[in-house]
Amino acid sequence: MAVPLALLSGAHALSSVSVRRAPELAQAIFPWNGAAIERVAYGQFVEDVKKVAKLGSGNGSSQAAPAAAVQAAPDLEVRLQRLSRQASGEAVSALAFEPMLPKAYVLLALAETNPGRRREIIELATRLTRRDSALQGLALQQKRDNGDFAGAIGTLDQILRVHPERKEELFPLLVSAITLP
């Protein structure tokens, strides 16, 4: 009995070490690794969004982010919703194994069609962590959409405290939020 447990423990350890650099391998080694499932699902979602944004914008940029894709054209929002629904099943699987995965909550929030429930998912997930850029970006968008500009500035402040290297892209947003009448 010790040998199978040792093998299982070794597979778990190897999978945990591999999550950041090779999430597909980590998932293959230990299929119950929620972090690996989350990384694979979110990575595929981002790649799909980049493809859709590239097709929608026609500029050929492969650096488009999910939020930029939504702003590019109204029909892209529908495509983003469809892509997030496809990824939400994997997000639920990941959360079943590890309930503290921020990008899994991002996928669930993006897939949610009920605005109240979406807001609730974002608010509860941001209570878990304020370190994830994708989750903080959703919180920022939610506050902007609700007209909560003071809250949006607070969220921008949180993002810049955790990720000061992002100031070049976020300062213009902060300036535009402050200059609104």
Residues composing the chain: 181
Report CA-CA distances (Å) from 145 to 2, 16, 46, 115: 56, 38, 22, 11
Residue 61, classed as helix, strand or coil, is: coil
Residue-level pLDDT at 74: 63
pLDDT confidence band for 5 (50 / 70 / 90): very high
Mean pLDDT in residue range 100-123: 95
Q: Is the pLDDT of residue 31 over 80?
A: yes
pTM (two decimals): 0.79
pLDDT single digits (tens) 63-90:
445 554 444 456 777 888 889 999 999 9
Question: For residue 62, is pLDDT > 60?
Answer: no
Q: How far apart are CA 16 and CA 152, in angstroms?
A: 35
Structure tokens belonging to residue 73: 């054209």
State how far the Cα of 127 lies from the Cα of 42, in Å rounded to an integer. Answer: 20
